[in-house]
Amino acid sequence: MLITSLANDKIKKYVKLNHSKKYRDEENLFLVEGMHLVLEAYKKDMIVEVILEQNETLPLDVPKVFVAKEILEKISDCPSSQNVMALCRKKEEKIKGKRLLLLDGIQDPGNLGTIIRSAVAFGIDTIVLSEDCVDLYNPKVIRSTQGMLFHVPIVRSNLMEVIDEFQQKGYPLYATNVSYGKDARSLTFEERQKYMLCMGNEGNGVREEILDKATFYLSIPMKEEVESLNVAIATSILLYELGRTK
Amino acid sequence: MLITSLANDKIKKYVKLNHSKKYRDEENLFLVEGMHLVLEAYKKDMIVEVILEQNETLPLDVPKVFVAKEILEKISDCPSSQNVMALCRKKEEKIKGKRLLLLDGIQDPGNLGTIIRSAVAFGIDTIVLSEDCVDLYNPKVIRSTQGMLFHVPIVRSNLMEVIDEFQQKGYPLYATNVSYGKDARSLTFEERQKYMLCMGNEGNGVREEILDKATFYLSIPMKEEVESLNVAIATSILLYELGRTK
């Protein structure tokens, strides 16, 4: 099948998926762009169909839709040189493992994507997004994860309920606040094996009711003139410390 | 003076400054947006004039230009709720201090801004940008620094010349490459007092001719499935390690 018109129903659907969170939620679908992400999605068995530039080939046993180059550029969120995309079905994930990263209201797509990439690098078992976090399937988020969103379970949930449930199961809760906290380097081996780490919104930090439940606060020593670090940086440094094996 | 027309020469100049690196270079001027950045620029005596929404006041002894709200929104790179901007003169900086961060071809404005913020947090004395780095005075870079660009000297220079000069002065050069390197945590106290740390372009890393001159490579231990971290994250973690006082 070769599609050359933007008015085609499939094309309209792809464009809408890349622009509307509501539509992604309703359809339970999302798009990924570029060979690297398409292959990652394939390994996870999440592909509904791949969207290829006409004359391209791809040796994967999935349905293929061929479109004109101009069409692919119109669909793409980043129309640089992607000549393959895939329509993917979202996968329901469950919280598992001992190292949980909780994100409370992260708004910037680049921050969320970068945090996911660092979380995989430093051994997080599950990421839990609060309900007001930016959409995981936002094309900018997906791009910034560099494919790593397929390497860790990511769940969207009510953080307060997750915290209550896992505190009962004996997981300590680490949070950050602006003014003080335990130096992350001083954490014991045991404190680094099983935990919830909660990081907060870019402007407001972790919300009060979560701070109230924290086992303790963590901090990163730095020069006084700097009020705070970018949240993706702060999260990554803490995960780096928590992930150390020695 | 109240300006209500986009055709006004001053307004045309502001708009052009926010959009053209070439023009910023020619005029040696740039804009900052928001009260926080305006005050930081004021402390550094870099303000030529402030640009205020009509009816606003600002108790600073600098020339003031008043503009209609719509005009301010047209000039702004981020027209959310900024009601003050400042036209600033660039300041010539020199390399000083013992801890130098060299950036080789960083392209993303958010990455550069975030790196500057982290560099101040962890005690870098001077940042040296290669000639092909994104412009420091790009409005997105300025915004991501959160005012920290005024807290550290930042120089644009030929990196190879800087490396030669400072290697002769006894500064070791640390670089990162993809595949291997010394664990940053194993650096001695002395190795953390005086150095050049060179970080590379988002896609290609540090260029070959710089790698060839490195005293040694640094690396960050992480899971094998992750090829690399975002460059702002990697830089910040290394600066965090290098900046430790104990």
Q: Do residues A24 and A135 lie in contact, with contact meaning Cβ atoms separated by under 8 Å? A: yes
**A114 and B221 in contact by Cβ < 8 A?**
no
Please report the pLDDT score of residue A64 as a whole number.
94
Q: What single letter denotes the amino acid at residue A136? A: L
- The answer to whether A219 contacts chain B (CB < 8 Å) is no
**B223 and A120 in contact by Cβ < 8 A?**
yes
Residues in chain A with CB shorter than 8 Å from the CB of B183 are none
Angstroms from A148 CA to nearest CA on chain B:
8
- The answer to whether A92 contacts chain B (CB < 8 Å) is no
* Whole-complex ipTM: 0.91
Angstroms from A204 CA to nearest CA on chain B:
15
Mutate to test the interface with A, among B152, B226, B228, B244 (most CBs of A within 10 A): B226
Ordered domains of chain A (ranges, CATH): 2-89 (3.30.1330.30), 99-242 (3.40.1280.10)
Of B120, B151, B233, Cβ closest to residue A236: B233
How far apart CA B70 and CA B63 sit, in angstroms, is 21
Instruction: Give residue-wise pLDDT tens across range B116-126.
Output: 999 999 999 99
Closest Cα partner for B215 from B178, B179, B240, B181?
B181
- The answer to whether B211 contacts chain A (CB < 8 Å) is no
Of B110, B151, B220, Cβ closest to residue A240: B220
Residues in chain A with CB shorter than 8 Å from the CB of B235 are none
> A143: nearest CA in chain B?
B230
Which ranges of chain B have pLDDT less than 70? 79-81, 246
Q: Which residues of A188-198 are buried (b: 16+ CB within 10 A; e: fewer)?
A: eeebbebbbbb
Mutate to test the interface with B, among A125, A148, A151, A222 (most CBs of B within 10 A): A222
Instruction: Give residue-wise pLDDT tens across range A170-203.
Output: 999 999 987 789 999 999 999 999 999 999 999 8
- The answer to whether B7 contacts chain A (CB < 8 Å) is no
Q: What single letter denotes the amino acid at residue A224? A: E
> B224: nearest CA in chain A?
A121
- The answer to whether B125 contacts chain A (CB < 8 Å) is no
Structure tokens that stand for B220 in this block = 């960050």
Backbone angles phi, psi at A228, to 5 degrees: -160, 165
Residues in chain B with CB shorter than 8 Å from the CB of A123 are 223
Of B114, B118, B226, Cβ closest to residue A117: B226
Please report the pLDDT score of residue A209 as a whole number.
96
Please report the pLDDT score of residue A246 as a whole number.
65
> B242: nearest CA in chain A?
A222
> B151: nearest CA in chain A?
A225
Which ranges of chain A have pLDDT less than 50? none
- The answer to whether B43 contacts chain A (CB < 8 Å) is no
Mutate to test the interface with A, among B115, B150, B237, B242 (most CBs of A within 10 A): B237
Q: What single letter denotes the amino acid at residue A72? A: L
- The answer to whether B226 contacts chain A (CB < 8 Å) is yes
Residues in chain B with CB shorter than 8 Å from the CB of A237 are 236-237, 240
**A225 and B120 in contact by Cβ < 8 A?**
yes
Query: What percentage of chain A reaches a pLDDT higher than 70?
Result: 98
- At residue B133, the 3 state secondary structure works out as coil
Backbone angles phi, psi at A239, to 5 degrees: -65, -40
**A121 and B230 in contact by Cβ < 8 A?**
no
Structure tokens that stand for A228 in this block = 């705070």
- At residue B98, the 3 state secondary structure works out as coil
Q: Which residues contact B98 (CB under 8 A, 6 or more apart)?
A: B125, B171, B193, B194, B195
Q: What is the largest CA-CA distance in chain A?
A: 61
- The answer to whether B243 contacts chain A (CB < 8 Å) is yes
